[in-house]
Amino acid sequence: MGESYAALMPANPYNWIAVWRRNFLAWRKVALASVLGNLADPITNLFGLGFGLGLIVGRVDGTSYIAFLAAGMVATSAMTSATFETMYATFARMDAKRTWEAILSTQLTLGDVVLGELVWAASKSVLAGTAIGIVAATLGYASWASILYAMPMVALTGLVFASLAMVVISLAPSYDYFVFYQTLILTPMVFLCGAIFPMSQLPSSFQQVAGFLPLAHSVDLIRPAMLERAASGGAAFHVGALCMYAVLPFFVSTALFRRRLLR
């Protein structure tokens, strides 16, 4: 059992790149639409929420609301783009399109495939985060350099949520089940984790719960980076927590995928 589980792990440090490149090639064919979508979404949100709410709210946490929100949106969009890439595109490749089946008949292991998919989903997060960053920097709500500083945290956030979504798709019988994850886990997280308003607005019991959620750690890393402040609570602590959230689900989902696919 233990030995055969070990055989599922990535066979070497670079096999996953072939999987990533397969997804990149597929993405390149629809790149223009994908980039436009990634830009249009934050522009609408920043204008709609930022100007609309921003006028009422005024300054938050020592900065303009729109700058506060832009940083929160970089974190949430890293979360949603990695999640949706995994729940829809990766699920299709694992299930209906039989892409994984084809890959698993080569010298790649299940771990290689999962890792390649995770890094790919994180890449989509970086793309989405960059798009918002460009919009925010163009409008003067963040410096161009700060966008660059935020990108490693965006990538880590993408890995975390791809890894969590991987567990969801390893269990879900069909697309219909994803809505539970979305409405019961992701949407509450957006409101609990300080993406749209400061966590200090929440009752203290909610604040304690939120402190454990991965998006809270992402927001606590990305917002200070974009506003060029020091991370509250220590950056290393947040990075460590996110690494746990990225790595543990990887092992869980790989075991679950074996049960689902290799039997």
Partner 1 sequence: MSSAAIELAGVRKSFGDKIIVDELSFSVARGECFGLLGPNGAGKSTIARMLLGMISPDAGKITVLNEPVPARARVARVRIGVVPQFDNLELEFTVRENLLVFGRYFGMSARKVETIVPSLLAFARLESKADVRVAHLSGGMKRRLTLARALINDPHLLVMDEPTTGLDPHARHLIWERLRVLLARGKTILLTTHFMEEAERLCDRLCVLESGRKIAEGKPDALIDEHIGCDVIEIYGGDPHEFVEPLRPYARHIEVSGETLFCYAPYPEQVRVQLRGRAGLRILQRPPNLEDVFLRLTGREMEK
What residues line the site for partner 1 (CB under 8 A)?
A: 3-4, 7, 11, 15, 18-19, 21-22, 25-26, 29, 97-99, 101-109, 261-263
Q: Would you say 22 or 217 has its CB closer to partner 1?
A: 22
Residue 186 identity (one-letter amino acid):
L
Alpha helices in 85-109 (DSSP H): 91-94, 99-104
Determine the Cα–Cα distance for residues 109 and 256; give it in Å rounded to an integer.
14
Give the 3-state secondary structure percentages of the chain, helix then strand then coil, rounded to 5.
80, 0, 20
**In the numeric block, which tokens belong to residue 262?**
């290799």
Give 161's Cβ-side CA count (13 Å radius).
36
Alpha helical stretches, state H, 139-195:
144-171, 178-180, 187-192
Structure tokens of 234?
């220590």
Residue with tokens 């049960």: 259
- Give 99 or 130: the residue with its C-beta nearer to partner 1: 99
CA neighbor of 85 nearest in space, from 134, 27, 153, 130: 27
- Residue 17: CB minimum distance to partner 1, A: 8
Tell me the C-alpha distance between 227 and 229, whole Å. Answer: 6
Closest separation between CB of residue 166 and partner 1, Å? 19
Rounded to a whole number of angstroms, the minimum distance from the CB of residue 2 to partner 1 is 12
Whole-number minimum distance, CB 257 to partner 1, in Å? 12
Can you spell out the DSSP letters for 3-69? HHHHTTS-SSSSTHHHHHHHHHHHHHTTHHHHHHHHHHHHHHHIIIIIIHHHHHH-EETTEEHHHHH
| Shortest separation between residue 124's beta carbon and partner 1, angstroms | 17
102 or 179, CB closer to partner 1? 102
Q: Which is nearer to partner 1, 29 or 33 (CB)?
A: 29
Pick between residue 108 and residue 222 the one whose CB is nearest to partner 1. 108
Nearest CB to partner 1, comparing residues 59 and 98 = 98
Output the smallest distance, CB 174 to partner 1, in A: 18
8 Å CB contact between 181 and 45: no
Q: How far is the CB of 85 from partner 1 (least distance, A)?
A: 16
Nearer to partner 1, 31 or 145 (CB): 31
